[in-house]
């Protein structure tokens, strides 16, 4: 974000000017009415429990027409989280150590209705990572206190730790690999709604919700044994209560009795897994016990 004596310009990392897409951030320029500054930060949209949601932010990222932008300001509020200070009043701050840049940032009045300075803590990385995991966040960034700002490159002085989530899901079917019907292209997985949420189906059973397609993590041996197991419990009945995505690849359904361990990076707003990978079957857990954990 660039500020020059009351004027504001927002720019992406690939130099795209997005100032007009986020009019609610223009008022931040008032903080710099008599200053010049360049801030580094991230625009985020929050989900229903106040966690950053990339899929929700996408509803704002590609808008260009004023009526659409104005509606989105109301329907998809965004916030600017400020990380760093690159320039202040004619002086580049990038050669300064992080502690000095942070001190300068904290001297500025950067708490507003749609922007704030990101929280920072010295030490306690393990506790912070655990807290991030508990809150369902994607991870944390650790920075050396003496690190300078190095534009355009990944610095070993800044380390991002992503929290990759893992839990069990029930297999409800599979898609064949294109051109290779004997190989699994993706597993169709789901979970049961817990008793306090579930509305029983007409047969009185808990609702089996669709969680997405898992298309990676299969070794050669896994393909053979898993395909054999799936074909043995194949059924014509779709076990999911949710609509499934349409496509040219045939879906094969199975009785939802197999439980698999899946690693993933989060959930989309549509309620499906992001970047899931299959880790193996779990014979120690009953399918009916599998619910959405996070």
Compute the average pLDDT of residues 254-276.
Answer: 92
The whole-chain average pLDDT of the chain stands at: 90
Residue-level pLDDT at 81? 97
Three-state secondary structure call for residue 288: helix
pTM beyond cutoff 0.75: no
- Say yes or no: 177 and 190 in one domain: yes
Residue-level pLDDT at 199? 54
- Say yes or no: 124 and 214 in one domain: no
How much of the chain, in percent, has pLDDT values that exceed 90?
67
Based on the structure, what is the number of domains in the chain?
2
Give 79-112 pLDDT, tens digit per residue: 999 999 999 999 999 999 999 999 999 999 998 9
Helix (H) or strand (E) holding 281: strand 277-281
- Say yes or no: 155 and 175 in one domain: no
Query: 294 to each of 9, 133, 167, 198, 202, how far by Cα in Å?
Result: 37, 10, 9, 16, 27
Compute the average pLDDT of residues 217-238.
Answer: 89
Q: How far apart are CA 115 and CA 255, in angstroms?
A: 49
- Say yes or no: 153 and 170 in one domain: no
Q: Does residue 107 fall inside a structural domain?
A: yes
Q: Pick the residue with more confidence: 114 or 221? A: 114
Q: Which domain holds residue 279?
A: 165-289
């Amino acid at each position: 974000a660039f500020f020059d004596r009351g004027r504001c310009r927002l720019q992406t990392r690939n130099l795209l000017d997005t100032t007009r897409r986020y009019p609610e951030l223009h008022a931040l320029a008032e903080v710099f009415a008599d200053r010049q500054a360049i801030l580094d930060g991230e625009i985020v949209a929050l989900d229903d429990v106040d966690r950053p949601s990339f899929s929700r932010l996408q509803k704002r990222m590609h808008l260009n027409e004023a009526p659409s932008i104005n509606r989105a300001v109301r329907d998809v509020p965004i916030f600017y989280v400020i990380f760093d200070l690159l320039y202040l009043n004619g002086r580049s701050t990038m050669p300064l150590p992080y502690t000095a840049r942070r001190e300068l940032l904290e001297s500025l009045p950067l708490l507003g209705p749609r922007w704030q300075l990101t929280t920072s803590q010295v030490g306690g990385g393990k506790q912070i990572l655990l807290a991030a995991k508990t809150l369902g966040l994607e991870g944390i960034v650790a920075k050396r206190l003496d690190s300078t700002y190095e534009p355009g490159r990944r610095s070993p002085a800044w380390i991002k730790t992503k929290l990759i989530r893992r839990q069990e899901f029930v297999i409800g079917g599979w898609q064949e690999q294109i051109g290779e019907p004997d190989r699994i292209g993706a597993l169709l997985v789901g979970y049961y709604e817990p008793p306090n949420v579930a509305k029983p189906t007409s047969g009185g059973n808990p609702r089996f919700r669709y969680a997405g397609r898992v298309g990676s993590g299969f070794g050669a041996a896994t393909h053979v044994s898993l395909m054999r197991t799936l074909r043995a419990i194949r059924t014509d009945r779709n076990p999911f209560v949710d609509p499934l995505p349409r496509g040219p690849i045939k879906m094969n359904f199975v009785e939802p009795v197999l439980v698999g361990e899946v690693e993933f990076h989060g959930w989309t707003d549509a309620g499906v897994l992001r970047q899931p990978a299959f880790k193996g079957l779990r014979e120690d857990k009953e399918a009916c016990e599998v619910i959405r954990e996070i």
